[in-house]
Amino acid sequence: MSDTTRKKAQIEDLDRGIYDIKDKVVYRTKSELGLTEEIVRQISKEKNEPDWMLDFRLEALDLFFKMKNPVWGPDLSEVDIQKIVTYIRPDADLTDDWRDVPQEIRDTFDRLGIQEAEKEMLLSGVGAQYDSEVVYHSIQKYLLDQGVIYTDFESAVREYPEIIKKYFGKCIKPDLHKYMALHYAVWSGGSFVYVPKGVKVDVPLQSYFRLNAPGAGQFEHTLIIVEDDAYCHFIEGCSAPKYNALNVHAGGVELFVGENSTLRYSTIENWSRNMYNLNTKKAIVEKKGKIEWVSGSFGSKVSMLYPSSILVGEYAASEFTGISFAGEGQNIDTGAQIVHAAPHTTSTVNSKSISKGGGVAVYRGLVKINENAYGSKNSVSCESLMMDSESRSDTIPVIDIKNKNVDLGHEAKIGRISDKVIFYLMTRGISEEEAKALVVRGFAEPIAKELPMEYAVEMNNLINLELEGSIG
């Protein structure tokens, strides 16, 4: 075996530990391969949905078949929805008692640390989705007593129909792009959060999404409404084991931030390298409200993810802090989009990417300042670290300014890992591999410090996994 072949096999066979443990695929209901009107109707019937939701799904399905793949980003020609199973209901019922979750599924989430975090009061509410359905959901009683709602999205459609009808599909329209239409046609699972006026959710809520089945898709919908003078921190975790079959993730996240409110949305996405991650997230922010995005993108063959903030109220604000890691065979195309649609709005973007082994890391961003958004401020900083000469990193910013009374700055830095720094660390008795890992962890540290402690540890572990056996 040549050195190149040996290295390639070493990377492809990289042990991702607990994230790659596969469960036996056991399901109660499974749709046929592909996507048809009959399949969409089957999903809606499974959920006992109202007619208006089925109509919404069918209109989105029609859009999906009419729309073409986006041509401005990574190549999506390999994605053939007719070869994907869009709905798998696991052999489990939704419960708020961890003991009632089937043992095999419970073991998977235990390995991922979900229940341990809840027991140690690191979280005030937990949701766990397995394939197409949420199997566990809980919330601390003191939040219920304050009127906070945290439940799976399927239950929310049945139990809070007037709220859902008012907000569902209003932040992100089905015609945004082909895979948003797909999402609305076959969505399943996800979370609904409602924080009443004046309530501070002082401990984070978390939903974890695990896709276990090969050749399947996951299409959860998350809707969060934070009323005026309120606060919430929501954490989203995602992972899937590695298969020799293409998987698709096309979730949808709609966020509504009221006046004088703050919503922090933290994500660590750790998909396997057979995954096309085509996720869409958007927030609408009212007067003096604030959205804080913290994003870590790991794994997946292709990612296209650009959290968007629409600042519709005066003095509204958006902060985006993100990191992505692209290894061999990966194209991680991420960034942020901000629309300043009111006066004196502010936004910051701090994006970092790491590429190695020929991986491609792209920052693709949009800053749009409308005619009425005078006195607005924006600052974008993009830093890219390439571990070798085969890797690639691009910064593709779009800046659209409609008035002159703004303060805007954009800075991009792209560079390779410094041989001088590595040499210096090696003179202090540190191996070359650990020296490079130290540099990478230092590069990622500003992102890690924005995450809760347990997620910062997970991010560092993921970086170590990505680096293992591939540098030196």
Predicted confidence at residue 6, as pLDDT, reads 34
- Residue 465 pLDDT more than 80? no
The predicted-structure confidence for 50-101, as pLDDT tens digits, reads as follows 999 999 999 999 999 999 998 889 999 999 999 999 999 888 889 988 888 8
Closest CA to 253 of 153, 349, 320: 153
- Residue 155 pLDDT more than 60? yes
CA–CA dist 147, 183 (Å, integer): 30
Tokens of 472: 């030196």
- Residue 338 pLDDT more than 90? yes
Kindly report whether the global pTM for this prediction surpasses the value 0.85. yes
**Could you tell me if 318 and 290 are in contact, meaning their C-beta atoms sit under 8 angstroms apart?**
yes
CA–CA dist 423, 417 (Å, integer): 11
**pLDDT confidence bin for 39, thresholds 50/70/90:** very high
**pLDDT confidence bin for 10, thresholds 50/70/90:** very low
**pLDDT confidence bin for 445, thresholds 50/70/90:** confident
* Residue 271 dihedral angles phi and psi, to the nearest 5°: -75, 160
Predicted confidence at residue 25, as pLDDT, reads 66
For residues 353-382, average pLDDT: 94
For residues 297-302, average pLDDT: 86
Predicted confidence at residue 128, as pLDDT, reads 86
**Could you tell me if 288 and 258 are in contact, meaning their C-beta atoms sit under 8 angstroms apart?**
no
Closest CA to 298 of 337, 356, 348, 253: 356
- Residue 8 pLDDT more than 50? no
Q: Please state, as a whole number, how many other Cβ atoms lie within 10 Å of the Cβ of residue 77.
A: 7
Predicted confidence at residue 213, as pLDDT, reads 80
- Residue 420 pLDDT more than 80? yes
- Residue 24 pLDDT more than 60? yes
Predicted confidence at residue 413, as pLDDT, reads 84
Most confidently predicted of 1-5, 399-403, 410-414, 455-459:
399-403
- Residue 1 pLDDT more than 60? no
Diameter of the chain measured on Cα atoms: 70
Tokens of 103: 């043992």
Predicted confidence at residue 3, as pLDDT, reads 40
The predicted-structure confidence for 384-404, as pLDDT tens digits, reads as follows 988 888 889 999 999 999 999
If you average pLDDT over every residue of the chain, what do you get?
87
Position with higher pLDDT, 466 vs 414: 414
Amino acid letter for position 220: E
Position with higher pLDDT, 314 vs 28: 314
